[in-house]
Structure 1
Amino acid sequence: MIKLLEHTRRPDITFCRNGRIYITARVARLLSLRPGDALNIAVSNGEYLLHAIHLHNAIGRHEAQCFPTKKGRGNNLSANSVRLCRALLNSVGVTADRASYMIGEAFVQDSVTYVPIITLHPL
């Protein structure tokens, strides 16, 4: 049997070795991300948890700071952090230049919303 469509769902987040991070509107909505906020990844019990750092009145550029991918249209965001991307890809054993992942159910802990990244099956 041959599958004509390998994947029918768009990945939620993509990490590239050059530091580019692509975030879908679904992830941005779950984390309440706005342009100017930053991303970070926490590791807990071998699970990678994506969370937002809401920067209020921040001056200057911050690592993994989000910006809109298209001006005026859509809620998809991008961010840049070579250290964050390479650390994640190396720790999960991905040797490709890019890996896309789905996310799990969001949860709140200590007033911070975390979203687990499902790293077992990169798309």
Structure 2
Amino acid sequence: MKSILPNSRKHDISFHASGKIDISAHIARKLSLAPGDVIDIVQEYGEMYLYVKLRSGNYVGRHDGRVWVTANGKGTFRTCSKALATAMLVAAGVNGRLRCPCGTEIERDNTKYITIIYRCSL
């Protein structure tokens, strides 16, 4: 027998070579994302963590990684950051597109960080 759905896990975040980054509604809720927030990715001990660097209304000027709500109305967010997308693609050793699940969230210094499982492209 052959399974129709060999991998049922859905991706939570996707990185494209063009710099486009799509964030699922599940992750957006965990991070309490709002339009205008600025996201960033940090690396520690070989792990990558997604977090909100700046909350909307608490900064002035233009920033790379600023998110907006997508038009589908389902709570998903998008941003364009060539630097973030390229760093993730290089770390994963992938060309074109990287679709990853996310792991557990940790909290440090009143900031939520979500683990990006970038070695497992879906």
Identity among equivalent pairs (%) = 33
Give the drift of 1:57: 4.6
Q: Which amino acid is the alignment partner of residue 69 of structure 1?
A: T
TM-score by length of 1: 0.89
Q: Which residue of 1 aligns with 2:70?
A: 69
Q: Tell me which stretches of 4 or more aligned residues in structure 1 moved more than 6 Å.
A: none
Q: Which residue of 2 aligns with 1:17?
A: 17
State whether residues 102 and 114 of structure 2, in contact with CA within 8 Å, keep that contact through their aligned partners in structure 1.
yes
Instruction: State the distance in 1 between where 2:81 and 2:2 align.
Output: 38
Give the drift of 1:60: 4.2
Instruction: State the distance in 2 between where 1:3 and 1:99 align.
Output: 24
CA RMSD of aligned residues (A): 1.6
| Aligned length, in residue pairs | 121
5+ residue gaps, structure 1, are none
Instruction: State the distance in 2 between where 1:47 and 1:63 align.
Output: 22
Q: Which residue of 1 aligns with 2:31?
A: 31
5+ residue gaps, structure 2, are none
TM-score by length of 2: 0.90
Q: Which residue of 1 aligns with 2:113?
A: 114
Q: Which residue of 1 aligns with 2:3?
A: 3
